[in-house]
Structure 1
Amino acid sequence: MPDSAAVKTRLRDELSTRIARVRKDFFQSLQIVASGVGAYYIAEQFLGHHEPIFAATAAIVSLGYVSGATHARRILEVSLGVILGIAIGDVLMLLMGQGMWQATFVLFISIQIARFLDKGILFTIQMGLQSTLVVLLPPSPDGVFARSLDGVVGGLCAFLLMFIFPKDPRKEPRRNASALMNAFADVFYSSAKAMKEYDGKAAWLALSEARQLQPLFNKCEADVVTAIGLAKLSIVGKSQQGELKTLSKRFSATDLAIRNTRVLNRRMASTLENVQLSSTAVDSLAQVFVDIGNAVHTLGEGMSAKERETRRGMMHKARTELEHVAATLEPHQMKVETLEGESLVLMTRPLVVDLLEVTGLSHEDAVDQLVPLGESITERAPKTNILPVIAAPQTSAVRVESLLHDVPQEEAEQPVDTAAINTVLRTRAANSKDSTTDSR
């Protein structure tokens, strides 16, 4: 039997989610009602049509709740689908009459024409539905193409409502940005805790948190596209499009940062379970994760703020915080002395670059903020100036050993396999460790 307390909590959460959804879409619900009733009234009172249900249908479907596509395209698809569908139905009904087989033929023809004209699913559905209804329903007393005109009235009413009485399209993207970046910051705080406590299981949980960011990001990406479409239809939308387009660019850079975070967390979890880093390396890496988390939290405040000056101030603050982190991401400077620890530092560098791009820096300027790595990362690593360009996938371990010492110029020009280099490096490190143990 399920725990009653857990069931109550789940029901309470579900109820809260549903209420929040109603509140979020309340203004758009008013728009849909006004558009549908208005279209019906105009077609009936001004055009003299009897029961112009197609006018209300076109208006309601055009303003339906949508995410991830522009309202302008949706309204056009619905309006054209209704008009063409009704027109095709009227023409074919005149030629073939009414009945089930006529309706079947009309539906098939309408769908084929719709797929030829447009790839949109909504367009196809509207054409097929409206043409079939025209053939199945009794003829309109207002004339052959009266229903097509009703569809035009419904589409125009939808456009008019969106233009004169728009909602602020920035509200939802701002709320989503705050939720996404706060959850993103929590991933780094969890990573810092896992590193500080040297807990592999906690690191895997941090990776799970990073993976759960994807649905949040997808919602942000879809809603900002919808918001830009709403702004284009709005009478005051020009002043809003700039912020929305900037937010869209910030989301694109955030997407890259999230992907790099998953890679970093996966490597960190494996490292904590299989390798013991020094205490200084653990402390420095944990502090870097905390600093990045703080910067991401600041980014969220900057992306969700209503006032322009507040957004600029928060972005400047986040950039300063990330530049400080970028200036420390050098293994020697962080007291990281093992290959495994260095890999975590190196994986953090492109992540910080992505976050700097979220603040508005170009990629080149963001990369310039990173502290240079120098010629060598560790004492065991070969100097980069003696490693030739890789041109072939296979090289013997004996050939690699020669690269770790003095290498003649003619041999340095030969191709080398980096996988073999890693094998030799690890072997030498293990032999050195065994020799130290034997001497003791």
Structure 2
Amino acid sequence: MGKQTSRTSAYLREIDHSLHNRMLRLRRSFSSIIQASIAAGLAFWIAHSVFGHERPFFAPMSSIIILGLSSGNRLKRAVELSIGCSLGVGLGDLLILGIGSGSWQMALAIFVSLVVATFLSSSQLLINQVAIGSILIATIMPPGSAAGPERMFDAVIGCVVGIVVMALLPHSPLAGGRREVTKVLRLASSVLKDVSAALPRGDHASIYSALKQVRGSQGAINAMLEAAKSAQEDTRVSPLLWASKRRVRSFARILAPVDNVIRNTRVLARRAQVLTEDGDKVTDEQIAIIDELADITERLADVYARPGKVQEAREIPELVKRLRGLGARVGVDVATDVLSAQVILAQSRSIIVDLLQVCGMSRESAVAALVPTSHSPAFPPEVLDP
């Protein structure tokens, strides 16, 4: 009876977690849903009621395609989509009118369309739209009818409407990017915590599990970069977001250091695994440094999870102070003469520099915060006011 109750409770918790995630996803996507709905309805109305097209199905379709592009350069993609639609319909109309419709005729029309499109452009969106245009002509749109030119114009209408809606009903430019940065920083913090906990025990299995976790981080990094591209484009397109251009530029500057944090964490974890497999040890100070880095990275993730200028103004200077303190502790004497321990120290130094850059410092100032390991450092330690 007790086991059944436990299984039921676990099942209910799983359902609750699933519903929470679904509602969170819906809340984050709600503005996109509103954008797409308004753009599709408006594009259809313009094509049907203003220009008199009987079945303007591609006007709403192209507007949704434009709004659904998340990789930035949506203005360029809108032009490519319009050209691709027009070229596809034109080629399809010409070919199907000459050879008729059927299975082999469709295959030949698509082959010729793709050859021409690939020769003219490297854009996969344009190439795909050319193929789709030929398919539509060969299946549901009779060659030589007025539907062909109308569809070309409908594509232009949909693209223009999509861009206009994106400009007049913009997303919050930094919400998605900050969310992805938070995700990447939390992942780095989790791995650093696992490594610092496993090193004293020589637990290479736990480090291997952490390493597998961080090796799967590329998707989060790509999402972070894509969100930043979209934010930069939104501020160019929407007059309502022009005041946010400076904030978006500042945000874009920290993306490379955030990427470096996860990359250097991956190298540190890999070397920690080698060290524990060899049965070697690191000093207690090195473990303390890694543990401190994990905590600072977690705190920095919290800052980006809860946006607010007041919070950043209060917490970022404190994190910079802690990182400077770590920078003064990571001298060559901290590590033993074992190569893996020295590599772990080097990666710890690199992560300190990366995190200082995430906090807004230049690379030169961040490197100068480290205790020198060279007799002629490129960036000597800065003399701070007492």
Q: TM-score, normalising length from structure 1?
A: 0.73
What is the match of residue 373 of structure 2? 373
What is the match of residue 99 of structure 1? 101
* Partner of residue 73 from structure 1, selected from 71, 76, 81: 76
What is the match of residue 116 of structure 1? 119
Q: Does 1:83 align with 2:86?
A: yes
Q: Does 1:344 align with 2:344?
A: yes
Contact 1:173 1:223 in 2 (8 A): yes
Query: C-alpha separation between the residues in 2 aligned to 1:201 and 1:363?
Result: 35
The answer to which structure, 1 or 2, has the higher relative contact order (CA under 8 A, 6+ apart) is: 2
Query: C-alpha separation between the residues in 2 aligned to 1:21 and 1:140?
Result: 45
Contact 1:50 1:142 in 2 (8 A): no
Contact 2:66 2:162 in 1 (8 A): yes
What is the match of residue 137 of structure 2? 134
What is the match of residue 287 of structure 2? 286
Distance change (3 Å), C-alpha of 1:346 and 1:169: closer
Distance apart, 1:314 and its partner CA? 3.5
* Partner of residue 41 from structure 1, selected from 38, 42, 45: 45
Contact 1:70 1:227 in 2 (8 A): no
SS of the residue corresponding to residue 370 of structure 1 reads coil
Contact 2:200 2:281 in 1 (8 A): no
**What is the RMSD of the two structures over their aligned residues, measured on CA atoms?**
3.0
SS of the residue corresponding to residue 239 of structure 2 reads coil
* Partner of residue 55 from structure 1, selected from 33, 52, 59: 59
Residue 289 of structure 2 aligns with an amino acid whose one-letter code is V
Distance change (3 Å), C-alpha of 1:157 and 1:98: farther
Residue 152 of structure 1 aligns with an amino acid whose one-letter code is V
What is the match of residue 382 of structure 2? none
Larger radius of gyration: 1
Residue 161 of structure 1 aligns with an amino acid whose one-letter code is V
What is the match of residue 197 of structure 2? 193
1:199-233, CA deviations, whole angstroms, 9 ceiling, x for partnerless residues? Answer: 33333333334334333223212222233233332
Distance apart, 1:173 and its partner CA? 1.1
Query: C-alpha separation between the residues in 2 aligned to 1:102 and 1:201?
Result: 59
Matches of residues 295-314 of structure 1 in structure 2 within 5 Å? 295-314=296-315
Query: C-alpha separation between the residues in 2 aligned to 1:199 and 1:222?
Result: 37
Query: C-alpha separation between the residues in 2 aligned to 1:204 and 1:326?
Result: 27
Query: C-alpha separation between the residues in 2 aligned to 1:370 and 1:350?
Result: 10
SS of the residue corresponding to residue 184 of structure 1 reads helix
SS of the residue corresponding to residue 263 of structure 2 reads helix
Distance apart, 1:317 and its partner CA? 2.8
Distance apart, 1:104 and its partner CA? 4.2
Residue 338 of structure 2 aligns with an amino acid whose one-letter code is L
Residue 323 of structure 2 aligns with an amino acid whose one-letter code is L
Residue 339 of structure 1 aligns with an amino acid whose one-letter code is V
1:79-131, CA deviations, whole angstroms, 9 ceiling, x for partnerless residues? Answer: 2222232233345566x274236544432332222212322222111112123
What is the match of residue 315 of structure 1? 316
Structure 2, unpaired ranges of 5+: 1-5, 376-386
Query: C-alpha separation between the residues in 2 aligned to 1:268 and 1:261?
Result: 10
What is the match of residue 236 of structure 2? 232
Distance apart, 1:152 and its partner CA? 1.6
Amino-acid identity (%): 24
1:391-426, CA deviations, whole angstroms, 9 ceiling, x for partnerless residues? Answer: xxxxxxxxxxxxxxxxxxxxxxxxxxxxxxxxxxxx
Distance change (3 Å), C-alpha of 1:211 and 1:312: farther
Structure 1, unpaired ranges of 5+: 376-440
Query: C-alpha separation between the residues in 2 aligned to 1:343 and 1:54?
Result: 57
SS of the residue corresponding to residue 240 of structure 2 reads coil
What is the match of residue 225 of structure 2? 221
Distance change (3 Å), C-alpha of 1:140 and 1:36: farther
Contact 1:194 1:200 in 2 (8 A): yes
Distance apart, 1:162 and its partner CA? 0.9
What is the match of residue 276 of structure 2? 272
Query: C-alpha separation between the residues in 2 aligned to 1:16 and 1:76?
Result: 39
Matches of residues 252-267 of structure 1 in structure 2 within 5 Å? 252-267=256-271
Query: C-alpha separation between the residues in 2 aligned to 1:355 and 1:169?
Result: 23
